[in-house]
Structure 1
Amino acid sequence: MFISNAYAQTAGAADASLMGNLTTFVPLILMFVVMYFLMIRPQQKRAKEQKAMMDALARGDEVVTAGGILGKVSKVTDIYVTVEVSTGTEIVVQKSAITTLLPKGTLKGL
């Protein structure tokens, strides 16, 4: 009277639970896809552009270092760059410290 009848599950119910488990992972997968396109891919693109800029450094280029020092490149080696910050004053910095390549003619005093 107070107890209802119990019935066995059919095979169709097992397929529904598999689909339920799959739908719980969809938001997690979407989160990784969005993170890739918003964070990882742009960072890789910036790193590739920075490497290309460092490889293209040549004598006479006007640059900005990571410390904010502006100057003209007077000598380039594999690891180091000699930057002329003022007439007769040169500093040696690592190639990776060069952050920006300025357009020609930006620095008039050098």
Structure 2
Amino acid sequence: MTHWLESWISAWAPGAVLLAQEGAEKAANGPAKPPIPFYVPLAGVAVLFYFMLIRPERRKRAEQDKLLENLALNDHIVTIGGVYGRVVSLDKESIVIRLEDDARARILRSAVARVISENRDEAK
């Protein structure tokens, strides 16, 4: 087991010594400043991250907030759990929906995934 370790150390030791000497020379000359081209790809990744992830998520969140704000009575909705219903009562944080078999369920406004149709003229 020590044979492979000794051969590995003997193969890499000269390179490590040269790197250590080069590092000592640079330290004697003062602190090394990272080159500006190093920051260009980093800035590019940050911009790409913003436009690919953060901005679309903000837009999606704004659309969802607008949908929840414009929710009205008799709107047919689908919840995030896949439950279909019709809005029969609205609260600040929750809504009551009527299910297909005339059962009612109270859900959070944030549980509304989308509005299927807006039947605001239909009053029951």
TM range (shorter): 0.7 to 0.9
Unmatched segments (≥5 aa) in structure 1: 1-16, 106-110
Deviates more, 1:68-77 or 1:84-93: 84-93
Alignment partner of 1:103: what SS? Answer: strand
Deviations 1:1-26 (A, max 9, x none): xxxxxxxxxxxxxxxx97x7111110
Unmatched segments (≥5 aa) in structure 2: 1-31, 120-124
**Partner of 1:82 in structure 2?**
96
**Partner of 1:102 in structure 2?**
116
Deviations 1:33-60 (A, max 9, x none): 0110010000000000000000100001
Instruction: Give yes or no for the alignment of 1:72 onto 2:77.
Output: no
**Partner of 1:47 in structure 2?**
61
Name the aligned partner's letter for residue 60 of structure 2: R
The ranges of structure 1 where at least 4 consecutive aligned residues each deviate by more than 3 angstroms after the TM superposition are none
Deviations 1:72-93 (A, max 9, x none): 1011110011010124211000
Name the aligned partner's letter for residue 117 of structure 2: P
Question: Where do residues 29-40 of structure 1 align in structure 2 (5 Å cutoff)?
Answer: 29-40=43-54
Alignment partner of 2:92: what SS? Answer: coil
Identical-pair percentage: 25
Structure 1 length-normalised TM: 0.74
Name the count of aligned residue pairs.
88
Q: Structure 2: how far apart are the matches of 1:34 and 1:103?
A: 37
Structure with a larger share of its residues in helix: 2
